[in-house]
Amino acid sequence: MIIDCAIYRDGRRTAGPEDLSDALAEARASSDAFLWIGLHEPTRDEFGRVTEEFGLHPLAVEDALKAHQRPKLEVYNDSLFVVLKPVSYEPHSDTVSTGELMIFLGDSFVVTVRHGSDVPLGPVRSHLEEQPETLRHGPTGVLYSVADSVVDHYLDVATELQTDLEELEAEVFSPSGGGSRHTASRIYSFKRQVLEFRRATGPLAAPLARLAGQEAYGATVPFVQERSRPFFRDVTDHLARVNESVEALDRLVSDILSAHLAQMSVRQNDDMRKISAWAAMAAVPTMIAGIYGMNFAHMPELHWLWSYPVVIVVMAMLEVLLYRLFKRRGWM
């Protein structure tokens, strides 16, 4: 469905015709105006009219309708198609969720298509309407502001993940918490959330580098003003910080998982040594009792008056000796 539709002239929102064709014609009639349409999870029929009016490429339209796309930038004859993946993080459940945001740029128009409830564009539009100097740059200003907002939120999510990971790390290396049977599953679940975050941030580096004109992407991108490159370079720098944080988080989670498994192995070895020590202590009286329980006829000790108390004392002394020996070696 269409959430918002407005014509912006000289950086200011103005009233325009309700008919999309008339609104686009009015925007193109002025060199300082453009049309911005925002849609949320449109159906094929709802998007069909927009496709027809703006001449959007069918491949891009198919991607916008189906969603589940990687971040990318595609150039078509009559439009530019950009896919972003906004991310939100719920610290109580340690869950990273992603939405999808598709942006079509063309001659005097911007079409944004949102999928998911975690992709708020209303605040971005409201913020832009308070900054007419940015809106004066037309569709390029909208693309920059949306990309900047998405990447800045990546930084917030990365900070929250780092905080939660420090708490998990403290739990793993605590004297009692690291041995919990749920700790390994929590670490693995956290690693999956970091991977989900990485899927949103990693592939976005190439499209932003292309918009910024960096390295091999020196050619001008159609429908994007060349003088906007420094601004996209700033967004690219922020994304590089995010990707570095994600790489560090992924490595740290792997190290924590390895350390936890090593701790569990050491504790199991300690438990086995304790069990072995107790088994050795139990074996001594069992052996002695077994010998005297055979009831052979020619066992002179059976007829001694002090045989029973002597055997009991010997057992006790051997047990004390073994206990002190194992205790000194740290087995008990």
Encoded tokens for 225 = 């003003």
With H, G, I as helix, E, B as strand and everything else as coil, classify residue 90: strand
- Residues 270 and 141: their CA atoms lie apart, in Å, by 63
pLDDT at 178: 56
With 0.85 as the threshold, say if the pTM is over it: no
The pLDDT score that the predictor gives to residue 119 is 66
What does the pLDDT read at residue 305? 72
Tell me which residue of 325, 314, 327, 307 sits closest to 287, measured CA to CA: 314
Q: What is the gyration radius of the CA atoms in the chain, in angstroms?
A: 35
**Burial label, 59 (beta-carbon count in 10 A; 0-12, 13-18, 19+):** exposed
Q: How far is CA 314 from the centre of its chain?
A: 64
The whole-angstrom separation of Cα 168 and Cα 15 is 53
CA quadruple 142, 145, 147, 153: dihedral, nearest 10: -150
pLDDT value for 75:
92
Q: Residue 122 has what pLDDT? A: 82
Q: How far apart are CA 234 and CA 259, in angstroms?
A: 38
pLDDT value for 19? 85
Q: Where are the alpha helices (DSSP H) in the chain?
A: 20-28, 44-54, 58-66, 122-129, 132-135, 139-172, 183-201, 205-212, 229-292, 307-328
Other residues' Cβ atoms within 10 Å of the Cβ of residue 74? 14
Q: Which class for 325: exposed (0-12), middle (13-18), buried (19 or more C-beta within 10 A)?
A: middle
CA–CA distance, 67 with 225 (Å, rounded to integer): 27
**pLDDT-flagged residues of the chain (< 70):** 118-119, 176-181, 215-218, 295-298, 302, 332
Please give the DSSP secondary-structure letter assigned to residue 99: -
